[in-house]
Chains A and B, each alone.
Chain A
Amino acid sequence: MIKNITTYPTQTNFGFGGTVRHFDETLTQLLTDLKETIEENHLDGLAAFQIGSPLSVMVIKKENEFIEIINPVVFTKEGKINPVETTAYFPQLTATTTRAQKIKLMYENRQGEQQFLTAEDDLAILIQRKVDYLMGSTFLVRLSPEEKQLFEQKLASNSDELTLESCPTGLKSEKILTTIKYGVIVGVVVLTSSFLLSDSHLNMLKSLEYILIALLFLLTLGYFFYAQYEGKKYNTCTSCQIGNIVAMTLIKSIHITGLFLLTYWLT
């Protein structure tokens, strides 16, 4: 029977990856369903999770032949490659993962007999991606932190147009925001210590606090203009858009104003 393919945002979860213990009619039916769903959707393989089964089963289509893989164990990995992958779970989206170039796989066939397979390149990548599904996960765990951040933005915008260059991590404007955040924290901590100080020291602390607040306001203003300048280079980056910059400027202004009011009332 042709099944619906599970797609994002349906989460993989704890209930998946169950070892097949009984090589019976239920398993045979699952293998048939996987093959029919692969054919219908012109895919190169499916893990059982992708059609809603919790079992550790996958079917791979290679040169018009199906390979039925049950309870797979990848026990040898060699070489590293960074393929651009697609998967039916995240339709229309791609990501650059890190995979082994060559793997050795132990698995069982539908009779429960132990089998071995050596796979390289595209086949190895495909099997590794399906094994991730069987272990309750997706290729998200095979992404570098930068790629992961980028892919999450692709998911949010449902667009595959973004690239690391179009939305880089570690923007200078983001560093300014981080500096403001820590400045506010320092201001609050210093203010808290005012309860322990004598009046003479209190006046000095108040002056320092106002200087800090003034600097933070200037930094926020600097962020507002610099972020727009920086954002012009990255048109598709959501964090570079004017709406986001205005919102962040307002949030930081509220934090600094709060610090100012606390300083005014408490000292």
Chain B
Amino acid sequence: MARLVIMGGGVAGHTTATFAKKWLGKDHEVVVVTPNSQWNWIPSNIWVGVGQMEKKDVVFPLAPIYKKAGIIYKQALATTIHPEGKEGDDTPFIIIQSTEEGSVGETETLTYDYLVNATGPKLNFDATPGLGDGSGQMGSNTVSVCTAEHAVHANDELTKTFEKAKAGKRQKILVGTGHGTCTCQGAAFEYIFNIEHEAKKAGIRDMLDIKWISNEAFLGDFGMGGLHMKVGGYAVSSKLFAESLYAERNVEWIIGAHTSKVEEGKIEYELLDGTMHEETFDFAMLIPPFSGVGFKAYAKDGADITDQLFMPNGFMKVDAKYDAGAYENWKASDWPETYQNPSFGNIFAAGIAFAPPHLISKPMSSPNGTPINPTPPRTGMPAGIIGKAVAHSVCDMIKAGDDVELHKASMAEMGAACVASAGKGVLHGTAAAMTVYPVVPDFEKYPGTGRDTKYTFGEIGLAGHWIKHILHHMFIYKAKLKPGWTLIPE
């Protein structure tokens, strides 16, 4: 009997675990280690953040789902990896620390035959002074919608801001990225337009100054170098689409900005030309930069081998080309296909946990040397597809040996669909529905923009909102492993 251990229970980890268990059956063990007791459909957090959904609508407990599926569930935090085992025993293992009520802090050694790292990111608030509290958690100056709890807090603060506006006190709202190397601009984009939508509904739009701040070099970059949209029959760049939307909704913007310091009611930021500026706010939601969760890895003799498994930013090394060099040398083939660690063949990474070989957008920095560019997004769809491919590979290795051909899911060969909400409502909601193929531009195959124009398009409207709402229910249904869950695509 082989044991597959999956660290992380988000989109990638949950997909890997549930498919692996389905394919392996009772002959082998599938163990999920995650510090969270609940699964969170993160794309809907923005609706929690504006009070249009409650936390219970976007989360559900993992334990009963895993019990039903026959997956062993450990509510714990993985801390160290020992891929060579220990003196006298070659069985690899990880050390985990319980986060379950009643046994918090208790450690356990968990051996594995195959290990999948699907932890997602560490929300690195402390990368920007004042954005974090100094101990790795979100600070008190701004809010976030990265987790369901954060979104509830964001809504509480937003409600207070709306109340002040209703009382006749003009309010400044700032939404965007809290560092020059952030990703996940899409979530901030959704949040700012949902705030604007709710303000209109509440009749206080004229009392709010709403401003966007982002590390993107142009509006609509989204960390992917932008894409093309079809709006009203015209094909336009996402830059023009976004600029039109911001202008139409009267949302001002600051782009090419690295937020360097956050204080109560004020941020400092550096622009691409190296100049420093300040912006004040009454309410701010700033997405933190991501990093790896900070695992340590040790050899059998206790030597630190973290650099064999992880890049300096904490994300796991996989089969990517990490020495591609300058921007002009980047190729689609630099991107990983199997997500297998090059040093240890029984270790994989899925979702945000794998280290990308380089950016997708053109790298940029200010004359002061400050990098100001979005890092690659790894949204739900690619994370799910990668998780499923990794599950396939591990199952084949367990059943047929380690020499089998591994399954591939390169982001340079997969498309992604994204539905970005711009306001919730059955009749008055709007969302931008976008598809892009491939996620990572392939300049050799598709000269020019690097994308296949047949599959790269987008529209904005009410139908997009309905799709986003339907997807919310569909993916939670799938994650709960209800009848027919495997038929719903990633």
The answer, yes or no, to whether A183 is at the interface (CB within 8 Å) is no
Q: A74-B218, A141-B240 are in contact. Are A22 and B328 (CB under 8 A)?
A: yes
- Selected contact of B240 from candidates A18, A76, A104, A137, CB within 8 Å: A137
The answer, yes or no, to whether A258 is at the interface (CB within 8 Å) is no
Q: A19-B225, A21-B443, A104-B273 are in contact. Are A73 and B237 (CB under 8 A)?
A: no
Look across to chain B and name the residue whose beta carbon is closest to the beta carbon of A132.
B240
Contact of B448 with A15 in the complex, beta carbons under 8 Å: yes
Query: Which residues of A from 8 to 44 have beta carbons under 8 Å from B?
Result: 12-19, 21-23
Contacts of B443 on A, CB cut-off 8 Å?
18, 21
Contacts of B451 on A, CB cut-off 8 Å?
14
In the bound assembly, the distance between CA atoms of A132 and B239 in angstroms comes to 9
In the bound assembly, the distance between CA atoms of A74 and B234 in angstroms comes to 23
The answer, yes or no, to whether A168 is at the interface (CB within 8 Å) is no
Contact of B236 with A141 in the complex, beta carbons under 8 Å: yes
The answer, yes or no, to whether B347 is at the interface (CB within 8 Å) is no
What is the minimal beta-carbon distance from A115 to any residue of chain B, in angstroms?
10
The answer, yes or no, to whether B418 is at the interface (CB within 8 Å) is no
Q: Helix, strand, loop or mixed for chain B's interface? A: loop
Contacts of A13 on B, CB cut-off 8 Å?
235, 453
Proximity string of chain A (211-240) to chain B, C-beta cutoff 8 Å, 1 when within and 0 when not: 000000000000000000000000000000
The answer, yes or no, to whether B199 is at the interface (CB within 8 Å) is no
Contact of B364 with A106 in the complex, beta carbons under 8 Å: yes
In the bound assembly, the distance between CA atoms of A75 and B365 in angstroms comes to 13
In the bound assembly, the distance between CA atoms of A21 and B451 in angstroms comes to 15
In the bound assembly, the distance between CA atoms of A12 and B228 in angstroms comes to 12
Look across to chain A and name the residue whose beta carbon is closest to the beta carbon of B452.
A14
Contacts of B367 on A, CB cut-off 8 Å?
114
The answer, yes or no, to whether B79 is at the interface (CB within 8 Å) is no
Contact of A73 with B453 in the complex, beta carbons under 8 Å: no
Query: Which residues of B from 301 to 356 have beta carbons under 8 Å from A?
Result: 327-328, 330
- Selected contact of B448 from candidates A54, A71, A132, A140, CB within 8 Å: A54
- Selected contact of A54 from candidates B239, B330, B362, B447, CB within 8 Å: B447
Contacts of B456 on A, CB cut-off 8 Å?
14
Residues of A within 8 A of B (CB): 12-19, 21-23, 54-55, 71, 73-76, 104, 106, 114, 116, 132, 135-137, 140-141
Q: List 10 A-B contacts (CB under 8 A).
A: A14-B451, A16-B448, A17-B237, A18-B447, A19-B225, A21-B330, A73-B217, A73-B364, A74-B218, A135-B240
